[in-house]
Amino acid sequence: MKTSFFQYTLPELEVLFKENNLVPGLPGKLFNWHYKLQNVGPYEEDISKGAKEFISQNLSFDLPEIDTVHESADRTVKFLFKFQDGKKVETVLIPSKKKYGICLSSQVGCAMKCSFCHTGLQGLERHLQTHEILGQFLAAKQWLVKNRPQDSHIATIVFMGQGEPLHNFDAVKGACEIFITRQGFSMSMEKITISTAGYLPGLERWKAEMPDVNIALSLHSTFKEKRDELIPINKAYPLDKVLEIVNQIPKTKKRFVIYEYLLAKGFNDTYEDAKSLGETLQGKRAFVNIIPFNPFPGSKYQRPTREEIDMFKAELDEFNVPSLVRFTKGDDILAACGQLNSKAL
Ligand code: SF4
């Protein structure tokens, strides 16, 4: 049975090729060919016949199938990708000038059951493998090259799609390593962000094992009862402990921790909420993304008014904690944060 080429980090591919007595420089050349140049055609002439035979007998290059594509009026693109076992996940391309950011899924469904999240309703079906995470990027890129050749550059990656990335640590770590490998995509670590609900077992591994990519913590409330309701794993992994570890994570002094704050009308948008948030993050290398809640069919929270949003931000500003209000894109196709659900299409 063949293994996906996109499953291997460069050191893993080097071991595989060494075990099969193939020339040492070949894995780097293949990374360059498939990731940097993003060629899909036959290899260059200087790959030996034996190597070509080994590759064709042992490695597959299949990408997930595009099940559906929805294009938003603001140029956001939402894909529903189907894997070989029929499981589906969503991936979103978010436009920014002539480039895109891509929002990748790490699991089919999610076990965390956050109360504001469309994906959380689905429960966890399975983890994605590294090649399925990479496959979302490559298939979306191919779609862009074909359909929007003038602006097909994907400049940033966020793990904010379906799933808790740190619950699938090894596969996400493998994908990050491939994204940053010099012979591969050669992406800067600053261009990759992993978002977590505060899954402590993964956070505890991060500092020693994860490349120095950005971390975003879904904070949403500093009050225990409210955060328990929004993010039920808060009961098992208390915020104090999560914040302690998160603050040790950026390995580069210049780097900020991103705190996501989903603002729900009348729930976590009061002065007390802003004050507690400001006091918690004051003096830390913190940046807050204030995300007004996007209601979806059946959701229990409401979106605050523009005035209420501005007031919350002004109150937070008093604590000198930098923040921005993020009006998510793709609202008209349910592509905004917390709205991905591959069963709801
Ligand atoms: S918000 Fe993220 S961690 Fe929470 S249920 Fe949704 S996908 Fe899972």
Q: Which of 44, 45, 90, 244 is catalytic?
A: 90
31 falls within a domain? yes
Ligand 1 site, residue 161, Cβ cutoff 6 A: no
Ligand 1 site, residue 114, Cβ cutoff 6 A: yes
Indicate whether 146 and 284 sit together in one domain. Answer: yes
Provide the 8-state DSSP code for 174.
H
255 falls within a domain? yes
User: What residue numbers bound the domain in which 254 lies?
Assistant: 65-333
Indicate whether 16 and 155 sit together in one domain. Answer: no
pLDDT tens digits, 287-342: 999 999 888 777 788 999 999 999 999 999 999 999 999 876 655 544 444 544 44
pLDDT tens digits, 61-75: 999 999 999 999 999
Distance (angstroms) between ligand 1 centre and the Cα of 203 equals 16
Indicate whether 284 and 315 sit together in one domain. Answer: yes
Ligand 1 site, residue 338, Cβ cutoff 6 A: yes
**Which of these three, 41, 60, 79, is where a domain ends?**
60
Indicate whether 54 and 70 sit together in one domain. Answer: no
Residue to probe by mutation, ligand 1, list 105, 114, 220, most atoms within 8 Å of CB: 114
Cβ count near 81 (within 10 Å): 23
Ligand 1 atom having least distance to the Cα of 196: 3
Ligand 1 atom having least distance to the Cα of 162: 7
Indicate whether 48 and 91 sit together in one domain. Answer: no
339 falls within a domain? no
How far is Cα 81 from Cα 76, in angstroms, rounded to an integer? 16
Q: What is the pLDDT of residue 46?
A: 73
The domain total for the chain is 2
Active site residue 125: no
Ligand 1 site, residue 112, Cβ cutoff 6 A: yes
Indicate whether 244 and 169 sit together in one domain. Answer: yes
345 falls within a domain? no
Indicate whether 55 and 134 sit together in one domain. Answer: no
Cβ count near 226 (within 10 Å): 17
Ligand 1 site, residue 202, Cβ cutoff 6 A: no
131 falls within a domain? yes
Ligand 1 site, residue 165, Cβ cutoff 6 A: no
Identify which of 193, 209, 283 has the alpha carbon closest to the alpha carbon of residue 247. 283
Indicate whether 37 and 107 sit together in one domain. Answer: no
Ligand 1 atom having least distance to the Cα of 117: 6
342 falls within a domain? no
Could you tell me the end-to-end alpha-carbon distance of the chain, in angstroms, rounded to an integer? 33
Indicate whether 239 and 327 sit together in one domain. Answer: yes
Residue to probe by mutation, ligand 1, list 116, 117, 196, most atoms within 8 Å of CB: 117
Q: Please, is 239 exposed, middle or buried when counting C-beta atoms within 10 Å of its C-beta (0-12, 13-18, 19+)?
A: buried
341 falls within a domain? no
Which residues are within 8 A (CB) of 287 and not within 5 positions of it... i.e. 6 or more apart? 256, 257, 258, 259, 322, 323, 324
Ligand 1 atom having least distance to the Cα of 337: 1
Percent of the chain that is helix, strand, coil (3-state, to 5): 40, 20, 40
How far is Cα 165 from Cα 320, in angstroms, rounded to an integer? 30
Identify which of 213, 140, 201, 215 has the alpha carbon closest to the alpha carbon of residue 175. 213
Indicate whether 138 and 276 sit together in one domain. Answer: yes
Identify which of 85, 136, 131, 129 has the alpha carbon closest to the alpha carbon of residue 340. 136
Mean pLDDT by 10 residues, the chain (345 residues): 96 96 90 84 75 93 96 94 97 92 96 86 93 97 94 94 96 98 94 96 94 95 97 96 91 84 95 97 94 82 94 97 82 50 40
340 falls within a domain? no
CATH code of the domain covering residue 326: 3.20.20.70
Identify which of 209, 218, 214 has the alpha carbon closest to the alpha carbon of residue 237. 218
Active site residue 337: yes
Indicate whether 29 and 160 sit together in one domain. Answer: no
Q: What is the pLDDT of residue 254?
A: 75
Nearest CA, atom 5, ligand 1: 120
Distance (angstroms) between ligand 1 centre and the Cα of 165 equals 9
Q: What is the pLDDT of residue 23?
A: 84
Residue to probe by mutation, ligand 1, list 110, 113, 159, 200, most atoms within 8 Å of CB: 110
Report helix angle 200-209 to 169-180, nearest 10: 30
Q: What is the pLDDT of residue 329?
A: 61
Indicate whether 116 and 252 sit together in one domain. Answer: yes
